[in-house]
Structure 1
């Protein structure tokens, strides 16, 4: 009973202290699509992801009830960096759902103008507000409504003392008349957060967030992706599991609920509620404990020795990479190594694929070249009777110029296209689907069935796979070239594919472009199969990897190729529209359907 009363009292005090209006709350996940469209329509960077903002700590002067409830120490405020626009996960500051939603719209519009740094927070925000209202005068009524409600939410200057009151009055003036305040008076506490303004980048390191979607770099469903929140951390001494609950110092008992022994090298922790507990923690303590390190290591990402590695086909190929920060290429920045599996053994088509393969061969055989007669030729295998009759009629009528094309010739009607299939075999393909089949197994089956279909249609095709470990070792596995026949040797190479390393897509795509450009066919298709976002151990992650891949795809378009991506990544809608375009990719929601869907996608793509 006492615990129940305590919980009710805590909920009541917290609700009274927060000063919010939960019944009028607006959530970012519901507004993500609209905000994404608005942000880009007003000139914002289309490569930015929409992400929930991490709470910032403020030392403001709080009321007694706020101190009692422990609230108003952290605030989610809007800001942006090179990779993302960060907005509060939920807004319930004002007693109107419409005004709370307008706050989201205003922040997205303001962020479209650029970033804010620490040195120009006050002047920069005022200047951006002026610029936005000058460019889009229709936003003026909405801004005035937001200012009116914001001033009611903020503390009155009369309730503060000395320099704090002067500072609050100056902020109010800056909100009402943007550009009228040059500086703020110094005070011992932080100023009350200004929810209508952008804030500088939080911290110096790379930040991860909770990604929201819309129709470009955000998910079309508008749903939430996996949470990746940023936490403060401290290093502590190793935790002795044998001590039990009674630690050496009695006062440590008060922090026991905030300590979790995290095994950094393993992914099979028995703490079922670890994610929920960590989500509520402000600081995570990390300790080093090497006593059981050898038993926790699951794999080794070091490259294999030369005698145990696949066969190297040449010394390596140096390729450029696009650096979006410099807006220029880094020439000869990557080294791509063509490889041929030495463990591959010629093998027939797996038995479980025989039935599907027979169906596909029958369907795709209708696409193979057909022999057709071409009439009215100057030379050919047979006389064209219709042309001969017309010539006799013209001769009897005395027509001077007589048609000399009296033959017909049988020619083969060719499908003038070539396809290169590029498969991602990074370490993420070792993941199990439904606890019984790995992604790499599904990808192998898909390659086998697609190859059977393309062989039946007689379309020239090549198969390659890739993975990477930093820029100086990009593994490009040779499975089948355009000149090779598809046979048991090729099937054995497909079955020998194993997952490993990372996903440096840009270099693999550029090498595929070179191979396709050498083909004489008119239509050239680059079909990419992947299960995740571009990434690698070095700087090739986040926006850097996405931008390089996007530039490689643009190079493919300029070369006259048709790049198309097939993925099973659930979060692909966050970045693939930006990389490949809205109509040049497809997401297979059920990975087990990939083998059957892949030939159908190819048929639709080449029809």
Structure 2
């Protein structure tokens, strides 16, 4: 009976203390794509993704009912860091859904004006608000509605103590007329949160490496906690002892989850689901290094192919630079390229299930071949060049010395001054299944078959390569067909032999392709990148670092006259590829099964323009 009454009392007090409007809630998942486009259109950093922000404590004075209910201790505010624009997962502050939706748009505009300057919270948000209203006049009406609705919800200064009232009055003036308040008065409590502004003290994110050279040595598949929320983090020292749990008071057991070992690199917990559940409930992570050898490292090393079982090394030791976006410097000789090729791949015929499609594509691509043209003034040929002969006769009769060396013409086939290199992503993710019958690597293999069959019909010079990496040394590049090789049954055998590799150091692969294409004499050079995901690797290359390095590599290729173009089957490709390759430099294939047929046709469109 006591438990039932307590439950009813809790529900009643929680409902009375409720200051939200869940019936008018707007969720970030419904606007994520729109907000990403809007943020970039406003001039925001194109390398940032849009993610949900975690709730943080605000330490402001709460009402009596809220204190009794134990609610309203945390709030979700927006902020941006080097990786993402973080917005509230749900906004239900206002009774009108349109206002909650407008708040998302206003926060995106506000964050687009933020360039990361370190200034006091009140001053910074006033300047950002003023700048956003000046830059985007269409937001002024939205801001006025949001401001008026929020001011009606804020505490009445007359009900507050003097110091808190002065603080509240300053915030109200700053909201009404941004830029007019110089400083925030000091009070005994923190001010009530301002959801129309960016976070006063965003949670710090803890990364896995202390220094660029301290790289994660684990190669096991880590089951990372990713619920779309950001959490506070701190770095601490590894506790002494065996890590066992010793309790005297039984209620201490309730807090064990705050100290659960959630090892991102080792995954040696016996119950991973239990560890993940504990991690999801944490609001703050404590991260440390224990430096102990773990089984997953040994397992990864055993999975590496031995020299006897690996592909033949064609070239080893090529060093390429890499862009460090944090320090805005190019790190020279940072990545080592290892070029390999399959030595024992048997020559094979085209797979039967592709023969019909290949025949159709060859017929279409033969139309891309330049028309046969007459070459005049040749030393030899199939016919006499009448114009050259008449000119020769006239010169002789007029007494001029004339030679009859170039009196023929010949009908010959023209040639397209074009070279294309296709670089296929052979990372570990290509081992995943599209359906119950095909893996991603199978689709890539079929795409290479049909691409090569189609281009061989045009006579265009082309090369086929694949790549994967295990950190910056080595980046493995698989040579399937070089430019100076003819496409043959041996080439098909090498395509059949490709298999999933490791990770995706995309910038190094683009720079390697850049060097190969620069050696080609063609006037037009096309780089096709075939991928199934974002740039990533075991070390710091994961995240923004890899994205920025890839973008820099694409820019370098374009500056040298190469045309880079990305073809991806990643459903989220539209979120990051415009930043990497530009709005017209990529295409997303939403049905991976269609990639083998669409890739040659895409090449035909690119080279016809």
- Shorter-chain-normalised TM-score: which range? 0.7 to 0.9
**1:167 alignment counterpart:** 167
Please give the per-residue CA displacement for 1:383-407, whole angstroms capped at 9, x wherever unaligned.
468x79999xx9xxxxxxxxx9986
Q: Aligned pair 1:158/2:165, yes or no?
A: no
Quote the residue 1:92 is aligned against.
92
Aligned to 2:57: 57
Kindly indicate whether the alpha-carbon contact (under 8 Å) linking 2:262 and 2:276 is maintained by their aligned counterparts in 1: no
Per the alignment, do residues 570 and 182 of structure 1 end up closer, same or farther by CA in structure 2, a change over 3 Å counting? same
Q: Residue 451 of structure 2 contacts residue 600 of structure 2 at CA under 8 Å; is this kept in 1?
A: yes
RMSD between superposed Cα atoms in Å: 4.3
* Alignment match, 1:472: 473
- Does the C-alpha gap of structure 1 residues 429 and 446 become closer, same or farther in structure 2, counting only changes over 3 Å? same
**Which whole-Å CA distance do the structure 1 matches of 2:295 and 2:552 have between them?**
42
CA-to-partner distance for each residue in 1:19-51, whole Å, 9 max, x for gaps? 122343333344445544443344332332222
CA distance in structure 2 between the partners assigned to 1:437 and 1:76 by the alignment: 43
Note the 1:351-362 alignment, pairs <5 A. 351-362=352-363
Deviations 1:340-361, CA, capped at 9 Å, x for gaps: 2345444443444444434434
Kept in 2, the 8 Å contact 1:467–1:475? The answer is: yes
How far 1:441 moved relative to its partner?
2.5
Matched, 1:491 2:464: no
Match of 2:577 in 1: 576
| Separation of aligned partners in 1, 2:486 and 2:10 | 73
Q: Indicate conservation of the 8 Å contact 1:54/1:229, yes or no.
A: yes
Query: Would the alpha carbon gap of residues 62 and 585 (structure 1) be closer, same or farther in structure 2, given more than 3 Å must change?
Result: same
Distance in 2 between the 1:183 and 1:67 partners?
A: 30
* Residue ranges of structure 1 left out of the alignment (5+ in a row): 209-225, 395-403
- Contact kept? 1:336, 1:475, Cα under 8 Å: yes
Using a 3 Å threshold, how does the CA distance of structure 1 residues 331 and 388 change in structure 2: closer, same or farther?
closer
Q: Which residue of 1 aligns with 2:124?
A: 124
Question: Which residue is 2:83 aligned to?
Answer: 83
Could you say which residue in structure 2 is the equivalent of 1:212? none
Once the two structures are overlaid, the 10-residue window that deviates more, 335-344 or 364-373, is 364-373
Asked whether 1:349 is paired with 2:350, we answer yes
Deviations 1:549-582 (A, max 9, x none): 1122122222222211111112111111111122
Moved more, 259-268 or 331-340: 259-268
Question: Within 5 A, what are the aligned runs for 1:36-435?
Answer: 36-115=36-115, 120-135=120-135, 139-161=139-161, 163-200=163-200, 202-205=202-205, 227-231=227-231, 250-251=250-251, 254=254, 279=280, 282=283, 299-300=300-301, 304=305, 306=307, 308-342=309-343, 344-368=345-369, 371-373=372-374, 380-383=381-384, 408-435=409-436
2:514 counterpart residue number: 513
Answer yes or no: is the 8 Å Cα contact 2:94–2:149 preserved in 1: yes
Against the structure 1 CA distance between its residues 8 and 116, is the aligned structure 2 distance closer, same or farther, given a 3 Å change threshold?
farther
Distance between the aligned counterparts of 1:268 and 1:451, measured in 2? 47
Q: CA deviation at 1:310?
A: 3.3
CA offsets 1:300-328 (integer angstroms, 9 cap, x no match): 48855555543333342122222333334
Unaligned runs of 5+ in 2: 209-225, 395-403
Change in CA separation of 1:479 and 1:282 when aligned onto 2, cut-off 3 Å: same
Whole-Å separation in 2 of the counterparts to 1:111 and 1:250: 47
Once the two structures are superposed, residues 35-91 of structure 1 have per-residue CA deviations (whole angstroms, 9 ceiling, x without a partner) of 444433443323322222221122222223323443212211111122322222222
- Helix, strand or coil at the partner of 2:491: helix
Cα offset, 1:379, TM superposition: 7.1
SS at match of 1:312: strand
Give me the whole-angstrom Cα distance separating, in 2, the residues matched to 1:569 and 1:202: 31
1:534 alignment partner, SS class: coil
Deviates more, 1:109-118 or 1:557-566: 109-118
Q: Distance in 1 between matches of 2:107 and 2:186?
A: 27
Cα separation, partners in 2 of 1:548 and 1:233, compared to 1, 3 Å: closer
**Contact 2:269–2:275, Cα closer than 8 Å, also in 1:** no
The change in CA–CA distance for 1:315 and 1:139 in structure 2 (over 3 A counts) is closer
Per the alignment, residue 215 of structure 1 pairs with none
Q: Give yes or no for contact 1:381–1:410 (8 Å, CA) kept in 2.
A: yes
Contact 1:93 / 1:153 at 8 angstroms: preserved in 2?
Answer: no
Q: Matched residue of 1:604: which SS?
A: helix
Tell me which moved more, 146-155 or 510-519: 146-155
TM superposition score normalised by structure 1 = 0.80
1:196/1:36 Cα in 2 relative to 1: closer, same or farther (>3 Å)? same
Structure 2 CA distance for aligned equivalents of residues 144 and 583 of structure 1 = 37
Q: Residues 347 and 330 from structure 1, CA distance in 2 versus in 1: closer, same or farther, beyond 3 angstroms?
A: same
Does the aligned pair in 1 maintain the 2:389–2:407 contact within 8 Å? no
- State the 1:238 CA deviation: 8.4
The equivalent of 2:602 in structure 1 is: 601
The structural deviation recorded for 1:481 is 0.6
TM-score, normalised with respect to structure 2: 0.80
